[in-house]
Amino acid sequence: MTENLRELRPGIDYSLWPQLKWTRARQLGSEFVNSIELYSTSVTKGLTAEFSEDRRTVTFCARIAHAAPVYEWSLLLSDTIHNYRSALDALAWEVAHLDGRTPHPRHLRRIYFPICRTKKDWEEQVKGPLSSVPNDILERLHAVQPYPFVPVEEGIFVILHELDIEDKHRGLLRADVIARDKHHVVFAAELEGGGEFFDHAVNGGWEWIAGTDPVQDGDPIFRIMADVPIQTAESEMALPVSVAVSHAGRLHDVFELLPMIDQQVADTFGMVEAGSVLQRHDLRPATLDYSADSASSH
């Protein structure tokens, strides 16, 4: 990328509409997260203990007092995703009209923020809808394209674009009531004879049971085991709500995905406006993995 010092100022060199759409996306994202946290807090007793007949195993099961408002969350997330995409598209529209330039009439309905998976895709954008964008800004737009990086399908903007498109046809969300950190649980148990153990103590072990399917009331989450009978056991661990979105056959934790999208949008605005150096390509959404094998501990 050639060196240039041009800086675009929102509200001066181009309109504030892209920034407003971005701010709206953040507002909706916060509302989405707050709604989930409110529900999680309302489940005051998330886990109950069930003893085996010999009392050497205790299984902690989900206790869900009321159903999660999945439809409300689906709508909020869909609106959040759409506004992030719209903020980028509005930015593309503005830079296509910089310096009093006027796109060719045949391109007006095709101007949107490019998310190119191949060099050919990018070249077609440059010759077509982006042909009115100044060269220095084109260089900046090119710098944020996912196609030079492998695997392209894991790029944050590729996922953002596909989720926005898919939302027009079907619901995306599934709500999983799970303990988010499968490598750590909270419990306390007292053994017959006065011994006791907590979490990962050497005289007892625990095993993760819950999978990735939505957890229903009474479903097992994890179990603890001991060599001698367990007299009492309890867990003060809350039952956090994890919302996952399906993409390309994988599940992504929305609590991880949304901050990555927001950071990528922030980096892109910084690049387009001032040519700022990006670290965006290190961002990859982590696929959910709540398998029992990877979570067990003894």
Cα(203)–Cα(61) distance, integer angstroms: 22
Give the mean model confidence (pLDDT) for residues 252-270: 91
pTM above 0.95, yes or no: no
- The pLDDT score that the predictor gives to residue 182 is 62
Domain extents for the chain?
17-295
Flag whether pLDDT at 114 surpasses 90: yes
Could you tell me if residue 274 is left (phi over 0), alpha (psi between -120 and 50 degrees) or otherwise beta? alpha
- The pLDDT score that the predictor gives to residue 277 is 54
User: What is the sign, positive or negative, of the torsion defined by CA atoms of 109, 114, 119, 123?
Assistant: positive
Ranges of H-type helices in the chain: 17-42, 70-95, 119-127, 135-143, 156-166, 254-274, 292-295
Q: Tell me the pLDDT tens digit for each residue of 129-155.
A: 999 999 999 999 999 999 988 788 888
Cα(237)–Cα(54) distance, integer angstroms: 25
Give the mean model confidence (pLDDT) for residues 189-193: 88
Cα(164)–Cα(46) distance, integer angstroms: 33
Please give the mean pLDDT across all residues of the chain. 84
Q: Tell me the pLDDT tens digit for each residue of 264-297.
A: 999 999 999 998 755 544 445 555 443 333 333 3
Task: Using only the alpha carbons of the chain, give its radius of gyration.
Answer: 25
Cα(137)–Cα(154) distance, integer angstroms: 25
Q: Tell me the pLDDT tens digit for each residue of 5-47.
A: 789 999 999 999 999 999 999 999 999 999 988 888 777 677 8
Q: Tell me the pLDDT tens digit for each residue of 209-252.
A: 887 777 788 999 899 998 899 999 998 877 777 788 877 777 78
